[in-house]
Amino acid sequence: MAETFVVVGGDAAGMSAASKAKRENPDLDVVVFEKGEWVSYGACGLPYYVKGEIEELEEIVAVPKERFIEERGIDLRTNHEVTGIDTEAKSVTVETPDAVIEQSYDSLLIATGASAIVPPFDGIDLEEIYTIHDPPSGRALREALERPESERPQTVGIVGGGYIGIEMAEAFRGQGLDVHVFEMLDHVLDPFGEMVGEAVEEELRDNGVTPHLGTRVEGFDGEEQVEAVRTESDAVHVDMVVVGVGVNANATIADAAGIDIGDTGAIAVDEYGETSAQDVYAAGDCAEAEHVVTGEPDHVPLALTANRAGRAVGQTVTGDPTPTGPIAGTAVVKAFDLEAGRTGIIDEERARAAGFDPVSVSITSKSRAGYYPGGSAIEIELVADADSKRVLGAAMVGEEGVTKRVDTVTTAIYAEMDTRQVEYLDLSYAPPFGPTWDPVLTAAKVLNSKLDG
């Protein structure tokens, strides 16, 4: 009898695993249970759908449901929610639209994703308060913006200045709304560091967005609909709220099944994505991943990690053990006309906790040769360990040429290069694309001097 690979969750990690496993072993029975309607969608596209740059919600679907079933031979069942896992009996309990069934597995992947955190704010249940995390939530927001003019929201409050908050600020400005961003910390984009935060805040203001920094939201006022965001010091009138304060791993069913949960709140896994229960794997936004700098488990729920880990698990369950790979926490975001990026460890406290003695420099360079028309500034913060000079992380911001320069540093981090080695890289140069010394080289050179000094 054919073995059965059961996948819980039909987005990036789940469908990557299912597709890879079926491709590697066509005899394998691959069953995917997805509790919702949508599979294999790019949640990262939602802000651009709300903005109106992406016309139809269906465009963010990477592979339509039918192709998984008809072309790839995957037994994909939507509106099927897995409510329990029995790791002894090797079976899952599934609520189908009609009944509750048991499905046995030989190997199981938990790919339940993450959910938007909704803090218990006073007034959180008022109407016109949204989160954004999946296609239906994106559709709800877009529909609100497509109402007749008299009912259309004019002012939106975004709670949380992380990358989703920033992307949504751009989306709502694109739709002509007044936008307020409320950030509890002193700067937006906290994981990108202060330098990037300040540049993005200026960009927000230049584009008519009002950032409220170091501002804790206490609740929402209103009768039926939200009418104001209440902070310690103020009440800001709004017609609509989006709460984007982060996500939590959907680890409840794993926890209930006795599977180990890590300190991050996500499911603990080994290098192959296997959980504490044998033949049970976890991948994507619900799972931890090893950080390449610290070697410690981390939880950075992003698309590439989910795709890659899912694909690796799909290969592993066919008998070809494949590591899911470490992460560097690489992230980039477009904020109006700015590009911001970060990779590795840039937070000093975090670096110290991992046993490093972090030293950093910030430099400003240019995206094109000085004499070539149209260039703009690129700011780079580069962090290295004082003793070993090993590059630990970087943050960057500028109008062009930022995101792929992050990848140069990411690659150096994976290779455990020191600042001297980075300074010696033969990086590309032509006047339209950068100065002779690429900004990354300049940052490494300056940091290297500082470490020598």
State the catalytic residues: 44
User: Nearer to a copy of itself by C-beta: 321 or 370?
Assistant: 370
The pair of three-digit structure tokens given for residue 39, joined into one six-digit string:
């599979």
User: Nearer to a copy of itself by C-beta: 210 or 411?
Assistant: 411
Span near a copy of itself by CB under 8 A; candidates 56-64, 66-74, 217-225, 245-253: 56-64
Q: Is the dihedral of CA 57, 192, 347, 444 positive or negative?
A: positive
User: Nearer to a copy of itself by C-beta: 153 or 244?
Assistant: 244
Q: Which listed residue (118, 213, 303, 354) binds a copy of itself by CB under 8 A? A: 303
147 binding a copy of itself? (CB under 8 A)? no
377 binding a copy of itself? (CB under 8 A)? no
Q: With H, G, I as helix, E, B as strand and everything else as coil, classify residue 146.
A: coil
Regarding beta strands 155-159 and 240-243, do their DSSP bridges make them parallel or antiparallel, or are they unpaired? parallel
Cβ contact 179:208 at 8 Å: yes
Span near a copy of itself by CB under 8 A; candidates 152-160, 183-191, 194-202, 327-335: 327-335
User: Nearer to a copy of itself by C-beta: 95 or 400?
Assistant: 400
213 binding a copy of itself? (CB under 8 A)? no
262 binding a copy of itself? (CB under 8 A)? no
User: Nearer to a copy of itself by C-beta: 40 or 87?
Assistant: 40
433 binding a copy of itself? (CB under 8 A)? yes
Q: Which listed residue (86, 221, 399, 407) binds a copy of itself by CB under 8 A? A: 407
Q: How far is the CB of 155 from a copy of itself (least distance, A)?
A: 26
Q: How far is the CB of 377 from a copy of itself (least distance, A)?
A: 16
**E strand spans, 35-138:** 75-78, 81-86, 91-95, 100-104, 107-110, 114-116, 129-130
Q: How far is the CB of 389 from a copy of itself (least distance, A)?
A: 15
| CA–CA separation, 275 and 393 (whole Å) | 29
Span near a copy of itself by CB under 8 A; candidates 193-201, 211-219, 239-247, 431-439: 431-439
User: Nearer to a copy of itself by C-beta: 171 or 259?
Assistant: 171
Please tell me what DSSP assigns to residue 347: -
Regarding beta strands 289-290 and 338-344, do their DSSP bridges make them parallel or antiparallel, or are they unpaired? unpaired
Span near a copy of itself by CB under 8 A; candidates 53-61, 114-122, 151-159, 194-202: 53-61
Q: Which listed residue (108, 204, 217, 333) binds a copy of itself by CB under 8 A? A: 333
Name every residue whose Cβ is closer than 8 Å to that of residue 66 and which is 6 or more positions away in sequence.
none
44 binding a copy of itself? (CB under 8 A)? yes
354 binding a copy of itself? (CB under 8 A)? no
Q: Which listed residue (23, 62, 213, 260) binds a copy of itself by CB under 8 A? A: 62
Name every residue whose Cβ is closer than 8 Å to that of residue 443 and which is 6 or more positions away in sequence.
361, 363, 365, 380, 381, 382, 394
Burial of 452 (0-12, 13-18, 19+ CB in 10 A): exposed
Q: Which listed residue (19, 131, 408, 448) binds a copy of itself by CB under 8 A? A: 408
H runs (alpha helix) in 293-438: 303-316, 348-353, 403-414, 419-423
Cβ contact 302:331 at 8 Å: yes
| CA–CA separation, 381 and 366 (whole Å) | 14
Name every residue whose Cβ is closer than 8 Å to that of residue 327 and which is 6 or more positions away in sequence.
289, 290, 291, 292, 298, 300, 305
User: Nearer to a copy of itself by C-beta: 5 or 48?
Assistant: 48
Helices vs. strands in the chain: H and E counts, helices first: 12, 25
**Checking phi first, is residue 75 left (phi over 0); if not, alpha (psi -120 to 50) or beta?**
beta
109 binding a copy of itself? (CB under 8 A)? no
Q: Which listed residue (38, 48, 192, 220) binds a copy of itself by CB under 8 A? A: 48
Q: Please give the C-alpha separations between residue 146 and each of 50, 140, 227, in angstroms, as whole numbers.
A: 10, 10, 19
42 binding a copy of itself? (CB under 8 A)? yes
Q: How far is the CB of 44 from a copy of itself (least distance, A)?
A: 5
| CA–CA separation, 158 and 131 (whole Å) | 10
Cβ contact 409:344 at 8 Å: yes
Please tell me what DSSP assigns to residue 175: T
Maximum pairwise Cα distance, the chain: 71
| CA–CA separation, 146 and 331 (whole Å) | 31
User: Nearer to a copy of itself by C-beta: 82 or 397?
Assistant: 397
Span near a copy of itself by CB under 8 A; candidates 183-191, 218-226, 258-266, 321-329: 321-329
Q: How far is the CB of 440 from a copy of itself (least distance, A)?
A: 8
User: Nearer to a copy of itself by C-beta: 94 or 289?
Assistant: 289
Torsion angles phi and psi, residue 278, rounded to 5: -65, 140
Binding site for a copy of itself (CB under 8 A): 12, 42, 44-45, 48, 53-54, 59-60, 62, 292, 302-305, 307-308, 323, 325-334, 339, 341, 343, 369-373, 401, 403-408, 410-412, 414-415, 417, 421-422, 424-434, 436-438, 440-441
